[in-house]
Amino acid sequence: MPDQLQRTCPEEFNRRHLEHAFTDRQFGPAPKAWEPRRLRVLVIEDDLDTAESMSRLVKLWGHDVQQATAAKTGLDLARTFRPDFILLDIAMPGMDGCFVARQLHEERQLLGCCIVAVTGYGDPEHRHQCYEAGIDDFLVKPVDLARLQSLLTLQREKVHLSKNHSANRH
């Protein structure tokens, strides 16, 4: 009898493994309990090197990224790209980041978008101006990458939860 049990276990394992493989191939893998989609991230930064390095890093973390090196271009891109998260330089020529943030808050399709200031100025007055403009958080250059990654993770969870909450209400 023990010999028969030893043969049955591997056979049963193989049968279940083949059933899962067939199901995955036919219907795709079963969804995980929590698997949020990638965020759409917009980087608005007038310094091209900084914009490109932040964009590359955020892409490496698995998100969809667009970048703009001028405030006006960033506003236009935000309307079409509809980001979940914006990294916004504050000291830009022409239009400062606080003005851009106010304009972004007027866009209905950007409701729930997290705007994070990225600036070289970390004094309380600049922080206050940013928060008054509706900016959600504040990163001082050079950016603390662990903090940026945690902000992205939090926004990813918020987006996931709000999408599920909306779907459950309909």
- Please answer whether residues 13 and 59 qualify as being in contact, where contact means their C-beta atoms are separated by less than 8 angstroms: no
Q: What is the 3-state secondary structure (H, E, C) of 116-132?
A: EEEECCCCHHHHHHHHH
Q: What is the pLDDT of residues 6-43, one digit of tens each?
A: 445 667 766 665 676 666 666 655 555 556 679 999 99
Listed by start position, the domains of the chain span 1-30, 40-169
- pTM confidence score: 0.77
Q: How far apart, in whole angstroms, are the C-alpha atoms of residue 52 and residue 137?
A: 21
Specify the fold of 40-169: Rossmann fold (3.40.50)
| 68 membership: H or E segment, kind and range | strand 64-68
Peptide bond into 142 cis (omega under 30): yes
Q: What is the pLDDT of residues 67-123, one digit of tens each?
A: 999 999 999 999 999 999 999 999 999 999 999 999 999 999 999 999 999 999 889
Q: How far apart, in whole angstroms, are the C-alpha atoms of residue 166 and residue 153?
A: 20
